[in-house]
């Protein structure tokens, strides 16, 4: 966990006009602004857990399409959503409604972009917490009045440091309290039984950036190696484009199993029954880690020290790539992450988590 300490003096130097008010007020209603996306919302849940543990009522503002990730989480009291694409007129109307209905004591911009920082002012709270310049981009720091440094390496620790804006120092390991999703877990159990599967290996084929995707031929070879070892691996996909890739892989490796179309809760149900998930740096990887499914993360342009799942049942492998390269997949050198190397790492994690199969 980050060792940042903010005194009143350092807070004033960072531009906090509400510091003394923050110290004196017993804050009860706090709204986290994290509009998206999939993995980023999961990385922000430990901040909500810290605020909830301190006795606060935790609200969350996000895009409607991500609501299912946190709906039912025991550490979130109320979720407020906005459309993915909305006019400024619509956003101002939503902001007015929220100000009237929920006079927040504090709001936290956990995203650090202009589109999230706009809500710091839009929600009308006297205490507006965000990251300092550098971690916050697009001028987002200008709209906060309580700016927190992010000296921590891992993104989860960076998010937890935002609680320092309320005078809270997060203690202990990060917790990611997802909803329980019992019905979806039972559905996954039944679906796997229908296909004669028990604790299968799983491969997630896609990612949000082209540069984060393990090469398709490596994916095919990896699946074939698993089949040769007597496994029937699951192929997990999300978008229509990913489905095409998954179908092509399944046709090339017939003993692999294509998962059906799933929403996030049903995907979580499947992951809770998997022996291991192999995936690039994308939402399903972080969902699996939060669901206590062992993971092997394959990282390209983003450092695994920053984004990778942590813990004894998680391991991350790093390719050679220009930092933060989004689109040009050809600039990523995946040669160090060959199918045989990935298979050996996957077996090591799976055997450590479940015992030899």
- 223 and 107 inside one domain: no
Scan for tokens 């998680």, then name that residue. Answer: 314
Q: Do the Cβ atoms of 75 and 94 come closer than 8 Å? A: no
Within this chain, do residues 161 and 240 fall inside the same structural domain, yes or no? no
Which of 116, 131, 166 marks a domain boundary? 166
Buried b (16+ CB within 10 A) or exposed e, 211-223: bbbbeeebbbbbb
353 or 231: whose pLDDT is higher?
231
More reliable by pLDDT, 11 or 57: 57
Longest dimension (CA), the chain: 65
**pLDDT value, residue 325:** 82
* Counted domains in the chain: 2
Same domain, 297 and 198: yes
Does residue 174 sit within a domain? no
The model's confidence at residue 249, banded by pLDDT at 50, 70 and 90, is very high
173 occurs within a structural domain: no
Domain assignment present for 249 = yes
Q: Do 141 and 253 fall within a single domain?
A: no
**Residues 314 and 286 both lie in one domain:** yes
Alpha carbons 282 and 179: distance in angstroms, whole number = 19
With respect to residue 195, please indicate whether it lies within any of the assigned structural domains: yes
Rounded to an integer, what distance in angstroms lies between the CA atom of residue 63 and that of residue 101? 19
Residue pLDDT, tens place only, 64-74: 999 999 999 99
Q: Confirm whether 171 is domain-assigned.
A: no
- Which residue range is the domain that position 35 belongs to? 8-166
Q: Is the pLDDT of residue 355 over 80?
A: no
Please determine, for residue 22, whether its predicted confidence score (pLDDT) is greater than 60: no
Q: In what order do the strands lie in the sheet with 146-148?
A: 78-82, 57-63, 29-33, 106-109, 127-131, 146-148
Q: Is 324 exposed, middle or buried (0-12, 13-18, 19+ CB in 10 A)?
A: exposed
Tell me which residue of 168, 187, 222 sits closest to 344, measured CA to CA: 222
Residue 19: the pLDDT is 38
Same domain flag for 142 and 187: no
Is it the case that residue 166 has pLDDT exceeding 90?
yes
- pLDDT of 354: 62
Contact 89, 109 (CB under 8 A): no
Between 15 and 178, the higher pLDDT residue: 178
Q: Of 86, 36, 35, nearest to 61 (Cα)? A: 35
**Confidence bin at 15 (pLDDT 50/70/90):** very low
pLDDT exceeds cutoff 60 at 289: yes
Specify whether 151 is located in the same domain as 198.
Answer: no
CATH assignment at residue 87: 3.40.50.2000
Coil vs helix vs strand at 54: coil
Give me the chain's average pLDDT, please. Answer: 92
Residue after which a domain boundary falls, among 133, 166, 199: 166
Say yes or no: 152 and 285 in one domain. no
pLDDT at 23 over 50: no
Tell me how far CA of residue 199 lies from CA of 46, 103, 272, 276, in angstroms. 27, 47, 9, 8
Say yes or no to pLDDT of 102 above 60.
yes
263 and 346: one domain? yes
Residue 148 in contact with residue 162, Cβ under 8 Å?
yes
176 within a domain of the structure (yes/no): no
Can you tell me the mean pLDDT for 220-226?
A: 99
Segment 161-190 shows an average pLDDT of: 96
In a domain, 102, yes or no: yes
Question: Sorting pLDDT into bands at 50, 70 and 90, what band is 28?
Answer: confident
Q: What confidence score (pLDDT) does residue 321 get?
A: 80
Q: Are residues 198 and 146 in the same domain?
A: no
- Please give the pLDDT value at position 170: 87
Range in 143-147, 169-173, 251-255, 305-309 the model is least confident about:
169-173
pLDDT of residue 326: 78
Residues 307 and 337 in one domain: yes
Domain assignment of residue 22, yes or no: yes
Residue 221 and residue 159 share a domain:
no
């Amino acid at each position: 966990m980050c060792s940042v300490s903010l005194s009143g003096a350092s807070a004033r130097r960072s531009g906090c006009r509400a510091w003394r008010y923050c110290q004196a007020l017993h804050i009860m209603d706090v709204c986290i602004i994290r509009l998206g996306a999939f993995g980023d919302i999961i990385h922000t849940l430990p901040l909500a857990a810290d605020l909830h543990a301190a006795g606060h009522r935790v609200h969350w503002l996000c895009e409607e399409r991500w609501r299912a990730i946190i709906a039912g989480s025991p550490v979130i009291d109320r979720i407020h959503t906005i459309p993915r694409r909305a006019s400024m007129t619509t956003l101002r109307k939503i902001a007015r409604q929220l100000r009237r209905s929920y006079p927040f004591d504090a709001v936290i911009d956990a995203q650090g972009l202009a589109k999230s920082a706009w809500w710091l002012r839009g929600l009308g709270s006297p205490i507006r917490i965000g990251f300092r310049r550098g971690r916050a981009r697009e001028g987002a720091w200008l709209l906060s009045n309580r700016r927190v440094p992010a000296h921590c390496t891992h993104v989860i620790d960076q998010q937890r440091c935002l609680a320092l804006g309320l005078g809270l120092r997060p203690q202990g390991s990060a917790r990611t309290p997802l909803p329980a999703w019992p019905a979806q877990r039972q559905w996954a159990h039944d679906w796997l039984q229908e296909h004669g599967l028990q604790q299968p290996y799983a491969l997630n084929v896609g990612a949000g950036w082209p540069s984060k995707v393990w090469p398709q031929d490596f994916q095919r070879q990896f699946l074939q190696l698993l089949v040769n070892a007597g496994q029937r691996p699951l192929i997990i996909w999300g978008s229509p484009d990913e489905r095409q890739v998954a179908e092509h892989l399944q046709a090339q490796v017939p003993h692999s199993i294509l998962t059906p179309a799933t929403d996030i809760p049903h995907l979580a149900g499947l992951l809770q029954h998997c022996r291991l998930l192999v995936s690039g740096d994308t939402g399903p990887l972080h969902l699996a880690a939060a669901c206590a499914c062992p993971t092997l993360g394959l990282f390209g342009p983003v450092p695994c020290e920053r984004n990778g799942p942590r813990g004894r049942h998680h391991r991350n492998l790093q390719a050679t790539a220009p930092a933060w390269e989004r689109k040009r997949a050809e600039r990523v050198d995946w040669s160090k992450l060959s199918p045989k190397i990935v298979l050996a790492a996957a077996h090591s994690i799976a055997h450590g988590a479940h015992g030899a199969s």
